[in-house]
Amino acid sequence: MTRIDPMPNAYRPGAGNLSPEAEAMVARRQALLGPAYRLFYETPLHLVRGQGVWLYDADGKAYLDTYNNVASVGHCHPHVIAATARQAAELATHTRYLHDGVLDYAERLLEHFPPELCHLMFTCTGSEANDLALRLARAATGGTGVIVTENAYHGVTAAVAEFSPSLGAGVALGAHVRTVPAPDAALGDPAARFTADVQAAIDDLIRHGIKPAVLIVDTIFSSDGVHADPKGFLHGAVAAIHAAGGLFIADEVQPGFGRTGDAMWGFQRHGVLPDMVSLGKPMGNGYPVAGLVIRPAVVAEFGAKARYFNTFGGNAVAAATALAVLEVVEGEGLQANAAKVGALFRQGLDDLASRHAALGRTRSAGLFLGTDIVDADGQPDGTKAGRIVNNLRTSGVLISATGKRGHVLKIRPPLVFSAGNVDFFLDRLETVLRAQ
C-alpha cells in the first residue's frame, strides 16, 4: 500500500506565499513547537475568534467552517461556555472523589446507547479512549492482533499510532496490525468484500501466531474517503471478528453525537452491537473530554487486576461541559438538523457535479460528506483537490481533503449548519470550480 502525506494541502515552508508578518509568526512557531507540527492550507490562517459556524482571522475576515467537528454545536456556544465557566468557578477535581456531575452526565449519555453498553470510562482525548480500548481488549481476549482499514486514523499515542496508517509513512505500523481496504460501494458489494477482507486479515494473523484482539473502524470511514452506505455492511465483518474470539470497537470520535443524521452513533446505522465505543472531539465542543462506552464483560478482567485513573478524564469541569453539549444536541434537535441540512447539502453537491466534471461521487450521511475530485478521465486527482481546498480557503470557506490519494473533499461542519450556510458553500465552490 502506498502511504502519502496525510496533509497534501498544507503550508510548505519556503513557499513564498506569506506576508513578512506571517513568515515571522511561522518561524516563531517552528522555533518554539518544533518540526513535527503542520499547518493547514498553503497560506496558513491566523484565527482569533469563532462564533457559531464562523471563524474570524486577525484582519476580521469571516470564514465558513465546514470542517471542524470539534466545535460540534458551533464555536463558543453560550450554553456550553456558561456551564464550563460556572463549574470551573466552583470545583475542578477528578474522579477519585465523589461528585454528582460525572454521574449525571454518564447516566444521560448512556441513555443514548443500547442497554448492553452500560459502562463509561473517561479520558481526555479520542486517542486515549482508543488506547484504553486496546488495553481492555488485550485483557479480555488474550490477543494482540488489530485490524484496521488502509487509511484509518484512530489517534496519536504510541500504541494507537501503530494502527493509524493515515499518519504517514514516518509512523510504522505494528507487526500485530493488518490493514484491509475500506468498504467502497464503487468496487462491488461492500458487505461481502469487507467481510472477506476482514476474514483474510484474521486468517493471516492466526497464520503468523498472532491471536486477533480487535477490529476497529471509524464507522463513517472518514480518513478512507467517507464510506457510509449501504447501511448494514458491517454485519459480516463484526461476526467474523467475534467468531475469532476478538472484539469490535466502533470509533465514533468523528461520526458520533448525531452527525450522521439517522442515528446518534454511526454503528447504529449498520445495526451492529459493538463491544466498545470510543468518543472524542465533539463531546466537549473544544474542551478536552472523551470516553469509552463498554459492555461490562469486556472490562471485567481488566478491572479485577488493574486500576484505571486519569487525572483530568471525567473531572468536574469536563463533565459539566460535556453535559451542556449533550443538552444542546438534544434541545436544539441537532441530529434532525444534520439529517435535514445534510440532505440539502448532498443534493446541492450532486447538482454541481452534473455541471462540473471535476466533481465525482459524493458519499454522505447527514452532515458528514465526502466528494471525489477527478481528472478529465474520471480518475482521482489529489492535486486538483488540493487546489480546490486552498482556493476555497481564499474564498472564505474552510474544508480539507482526505482519502489515500488526498482527492476527497472532506466536509463535516458544526451540527448547527443551516440551509443558508449550504447555499453559501455551494456558491463559493461553484465559483472555484469555474476558475479551475
Let me know: does 131 contact 291? Beta carbons within 8 Å: no
H or E element: which one contains 424? helix 419-434
- Counting the structural domains of the chain, the total is 2
- Domain end call among 262, 296, 331: 331
Within a domain: residue 9? no
Within a domain: residue 210? yes
Q: How do strand 408-411 and strand 368-373 relate by DSSP bridges?
A: antiparallel
Collect the ranges in the chain with pLDDT lower than 70. 1-10, 12-16
Q: What is the pLDDT of residues 331-384, one digit of tens each?
A: 999 999 999 999 999 999 999 999 999 999 999 999 999 999 999 999 999 999
| pLDDT for residue 158 | 95
Is pTM beyond 0.75? Reply is yes
Q: Which of 278, 336, 258, 70 is nearest to 266 (CA)?
A: 258
| pLDDT for residue 192 | 97
Within a domain: residue 11? no
| pLDDT for residue 15 | 60
Tracing cell 463513517 back to the chain, one arrives at: 220
Within a domain: residue 1? no
Same domain, 164 and 30: no
Q: Which of helix, strand or coil describes residue 292? A: strand
Same domain, 275 and 398: no
Within a domain: residue 8? no
Let me know: does 154 contact 137? Beta carbons within 8 Å: no
Within a domain: residue 148? yes
CA distance 38 to 28: 14
Same domain, 319 and 183: yes
Same domain, 385 and 423: yes
Within a domain: residue 5? no
Helices 316-331, 334-353: inter-axial angle, 10-degree rounding: 60
Q: What is the pLDDT of residues 185-215, one digit of tens each?
A: 999 999 999 999 999 999 999 999 999 999 9
Same domain, 83 and 194: yes
Let me know: does 64 contact 421? Beta carbons within 8 Å: yes
Same domain, 338 and 282: no
- Domain end call among 331, 356, 388: 331
H or E element: which one contains 136? helix 126-141
CATH code, domain carrying 153: 3.40.640.10
Same domain, 27 and 143: no
Let me know: does 219 contact 267? Beta carbons within 8 Å: yes
3-state DSSP helix/strand/coil % of the chain, to nearest 5: 40, 15, 45
| pLDDT for residue 297 | 96
- Domain end call among 290, 306, 331: 331
| pLDDT for residue 13 | 66
CATH code, domain carrying 401: 3.90.1150.10
Same domain, 165 and 301: yes
Same domain, 82 and 29: no
Within a domain: residue 98? yes
Same domain, 93 and 214: yes
Same domain, 33 and 155: no
Let me know: does 166 contact 153? Beta carbons within 8 Å: yes
Same domain, 62 and 87: no
Residue 263's domain comprises 78-331
